[in-house]
Amino acid sequence: MKKQCVLVSGGAGYIGSHTAVELIGAGFDVVIVDNLSNSDRNAVEGVRRITGVEVPFVEADCCDRAAFRKVFEQYEFDSVIHFAASKAVGESVLEPMKYYRNNLTSFMNVIDLMREFGRQNIVFSSSCTVYGEPEKQPVTERTPRKPAESPYGNTKTMCEDILRDSLKAYDGLKGIALRYFNPIGAHPSALIGELPRGVPQNLIPYITQTAAGIRECLSVFGDDYPTPDGSCIRDYIDVVDLARAHVAAIRRMIDGKNKEKYEIFNIGTGRGVSVLELVHRFEEANGVKINYKIVGRRAGDIIAIWADPTLANTELGWKAERSLDETLRAAWAWEKHLRNL
Ligand code: UFG
C-alpha cells in the first residue's frame, strides 16, 4: 500500500518538529515547509536524526502563495497539519497587523491550495485561548468561546471560523481543530525542543533558563489569585503527547472515522497545576533549585483553565500518557543539551 504523506507547515517549530517525528514513527511520509522566521533548521536535522529519515524540507513562507503552490505541485500529500503562525501573545498586542497578516493569510492559502490540488484532510493548531477566562472548570469543547484577549488569540478564533465555514461550503475537504492547552517538555532524545528567542515569555523555558544560570530569577506573576496557592492554574501537556494527538487526528480523517466534516478536540491532560506547584515539581524532578520571587500579576493572564479531554480520549482514542515528572525532566535535559551542560 502507498504510504500516506502529510505536509507539516511550521514543521521546524516546537510542536511541528515533534509532530513530524511522531508521524514518521507511525508510518507516514512527511514534508516540512517552514520560513524559519521563529524556528531553526537544526530542528529539521533533529527530526532526521531521531527518525533516520531524510525528511524533505522546503524553506518557504506559507503567506507567499506562489512559493507555497510549488510545494503542492512537487509533493503528493493528502493531509496538511498547519502550525505555521506567529505565536507571541505580547508581541501580537504591539504588532496586530503582523499577526492578522501572517496567521490569516497563511491559513487561507492552505485552504485555497488544498482545494485547488484536491487535498483532503487538514488539522489546525488552535488553542485553549479561545475559551478566555472560563466560568466553569474543566472546559469541554462545548464551553462557549469568549472574545479574545489578544490579536494572537483572535487569529485562533478567526481561523477556526474560516475552517468551519470552508468545510461547510467545500466538498472533499474535512478538518479537525485541536485546542492545545499549555505544551511543555521536549523529545526524550533531547535532540528537539522549544527554542525561544530572547527572553522567554513562557513559564517552562524561563524556569529551565533560570536553572541553567542564564536568567537570575524567575518572576512568578501573582500569588493573590483566587486559587489554592494564589498562583495561576494551567493544564500542562507534554509536547510528545500533543504531537501524537495530531497523528490520531490525521488517522481519524484518513480512515473516515470523523463524524462531522469539522471536529474540535481539547488536547490537555485534565489536570490543573499552579505556577508554584510547577516550580516545585521541577525542582524535585530534576534535583535543582529555582531562584524565584513573587511579583505583580501579568496583564491579560487567565486565572485558571484546564481541559476536559474526554472527547479526545473516547473519539480520537488519544490520551496524555507522560507523567509531569517525565515531562519536566525532558524539559531540563533539552536545556542542558542546548547549553552543553
Ligand atoms: N508565568 C510566570 N512567570 C513567567 C512566565 C509565566 O509566573 O516568567 C506564569 C503566567 O503568569 C501564567 C503561567 O505561568 O500564569 C503560564 O504562562 P505561559 O506564558 O507559559 O502560558 P500562557 O498560559 O500565558 O499562554 C499559553 C501560550 C499561548 C496560549 C495560551 C492559552 O503561550 O500561546 O497559553 O491560554 F494562547
Kindly give the distance from the C-alpha atom of residue 122 to the centroid of ligand 1, in angstroms, as a whole number.
27
In this prediction, residue 2 carries a pLDDT of 72
Kindly give the distance from the C-alpha atom of residue 88 to the centroid of ligand 1, in angstroms, as a whole number.
10
In this prediction, residue 122 carries a pLDDT of 98
For the stretch 41-60, pLDDT in tens is 999 999 999 999 999 999 99
Mean pLDDT for 110-134 is 98
Residues 111, 29: Cα–Cα separation, whole Å? 21
86 lines ligand 1 (CB under 6 A): no
Nearest protein Cα to ligand 1, atom 24 = 301
For the stretch 156-173, pLDDT in tens is 999 999 999 999 999 999
For the stretch 2-21, pLDDT in tens is 789 999 999 999 999 999 99
* Sequence-separated (6 or more) residues with CB below 8 Å from residue 34: 9, 10, 11, 12, 13, 16, 44, 57, 58, 59, 60, 84
Kindly give the distance from the C-alpha atom of residue 233 to the centroid of ligand 1, in angstroms, as a whole number.
10
Strands 233-234 and 273-274: antiparallel
Residues 106, 7: Cα–Cα separation, whole Å? 14
Cell digits for 216?
537570575
Kindly give the distance from the C-alpha atom of residue 201 to the centroid of ligand 1, in angstroms, as a whole number.
7
In this prediction, residue 185 carries a pLDDT of 98
Tell me the pTM.
0.98
Which atom of ligand 1 sits closest to the CA of residue 231?
A: 15
Mean pLDDT for 66-85 is 98
Percentage of the chain surpassing pLDDT 70? 100
* Sequence-separated (6 or more) residues with CB below 8 Å from residue 77: 4, 5, 6, 7, 29, 31, 119
C-alpha triplet 93, 82, 155: angle, nearest 5°? 25
Please indicate whether residue 152 is annotated as part of the active site.
Answer: yes
For the stretch 216-253, pLDDT in tens is 999 999 999 999 999 999 999 999 999 999 999 999 99
In this prediction, residue 3 carries a pLDDT of 86
| Span between the terminal Cα atoms of the chain, in Å | 45
Percentage of the chain surpassing pLDDT 90? 99
Which atom of ligand 1 sits closest to the CA of residue 275?
A: 14
Ligand 1 pocket mutation pick from 157, 277, 298, 302 by most atoms within 8 angstroms of CB: 298
200 lines ligand 1 (CB under 6 A): no
95, 161, 226 from 271: Cα distances, Å: 33, 28, 17
Q: What share of the chain is helix, strand, coil (3-state, %, to 5)?
A: 40, 15, 40
For the stretch 262-296, pLDDT in tens is 999 999 999 999 999 999 999 999 999 999 999 99
Q: What is the mean pLDDT of the chain?
A: 97
Catalytic one among 14, 152, 236, 292?
152
Nearest protein Cα to ligand 1, atom 20 = 202
In this prediction, residue 276 carries a pLDDT of 98
Indicate the pLDDT class of residue 1, thresholds 50, 70 and 90: low
Cell digits for 178?
485541536
Mean pLDDT for 325-340 is 97
